[in-house]
Amino acid sequence: MKRSNLQHSILQPRNELKQYVRRILITHGDDNTDEIMPIVPTGFAYLTYSRYPVMFSYNERNISTDDKYYLVGQLEHEKPAFSIKGKFFHVGLELYPLVPFYAFGITGEKLTDTGLISNPLYELVGRDTIDRVEKQDSAEIVAEKLQLILVELLRKPPRQFLLEKCLEEIYASRGNIPVNELAERLDISERSLRRQFKEYVGIGIKKYEKTIQFNSVFETISNGNHEEIYRMALEHGFYDHAHFINFFTELLGTSPQKFINNPDDFLLTYLSNAKQKIE
């Protein structure tokens, strides 16, 4: 397997943003970078900055762009990927699912399988605000500037307290809680819960729970213990080994065993160490 030229790291958000930003993801590569970086569902949204032009596949199209900013929501049907040739510098704030609505007034449904790039973001935020990031800034400084922009946007956010509580219940159960039980705990009809969740988060609640279940199981991938992985899969809502293998293969394009034998550094960084909890 070709060794990746990309370097990945994770930073923790500022204290005042911890209820909105889960973590900060940094990826960079030098002039010799030549690889494809898949983007898979995580259950979270992203506000990102890319310093250099990128090529990515999205909505069955190959798109080349020098846009620096993106706001990305949930993935339901699409399987996008970055095609990287040359320098790559990417800083992303991993946002809890309701933050695009809180910060930008955009419901998750409008961002599903798509995203907003620089020009729409300039219109929402203002060019002077978002252009604080300069080309010579380090990844840490970029992360800090993106967070300061978000702090300003979240001074008086609208709140969806019922859906926040719903997400807390999903994270606490690692995605393994029936929708009817969620509705009962939240004192809302199941139909209304499904409708609100789809509108503001961006995908159906069962699909979201399956993504969180997968993330929880993926935390054990790096130890290479097949039996432990399958045991956790059963524990976290997958009906049997075959069901989990099929879901894994559909999501990542390879079987669990092949992935363990040839781990992808990017996916290990971004899908493992997952603490799904709103503080």
Sheet with 54-58: list strands edge to edge.
34-38, 81-85, 54-58, 61-65
Distance, CA of 220 to CA of 217 (rounded, Å): 6
Domains of the chain: 7-153 (2.60.120.10), 161-271 (1.10.10.60)
What does each of the 279 residues of the chain score in pLDDT, given as a tens digit? 456 788 889 999 999 999 999 999 999 999 999 888 888 889 999 999 999 988 877 766 777 778 889 899 999 988 888 888 899 999 999 999 999 999 999 999 999 998 787 788 888 888 888 888 888 999 999 999 999 999 999 998 899 999 999 999 999 998 989 999 999 999 999 999 999 999 999 999 999 998 998 887 877 776 666 777 777 777 777 777 888 888 888 878 788 878 777 777 777 777 765 443 333
Count of C-beta atoms within a 10 Å radius of residue 272: 15
| Secondary structure letter of residue 3 according to DSSP | P
Which amino acid would we find at residue 84?
I
